Amino acid sequence: MDIDVTPKLDEAAWLLTDLLGRAMGRVAEEADGEFRIEPAGQALQTMGSMKRGPVKTLDDALAEIERATRATCRRAVRADPT
């Protein structure tokens, strides 16, 4: 499974979606420069036992998601329009 990681335009967050376009949650940057993984939908079960943060970088958060889900996170080139 691959996960697309798309920056959200109106906040310091990156949306996580599977290749079928289903929401898997997001990674949010907190005020103190740390990142937290917030699973949603089907990913709640898949990411249930993983460390959700805080972590120091977006790359650390994506590496944790890849480890827990055995997926590959791919950064999307376009920004989310919402």
Q: pLDDT, tens digit, for every residue of 27-78? A: 999 978 899 999 998 888 888 889 899 999 999 999 999 999 999 999 887 6
If one counts the domains in the chain, the total is 1
For residues 32 and 62, give the distance between their C-alpha atoms in angstroms, rounded to a whole number.
19
80 within domain boundaries? no
For residues 49 and 33, give the distance between their C-alpha atoms in angstroms, rounded to a whole number.
24
56 within domain boundaries? yes
Domain range holding 47? 2-75
Phi, psi of 35 (to 5 degrees): -115, 145
- Residue pair 69/58 in contact (Cβ under 8 Å)? The answer is no
65 within domain boundaries? yes
82 within domain boundaries? no
Reported confidence tier of residue 79, pLDDT bands at 50, 70, 90: low
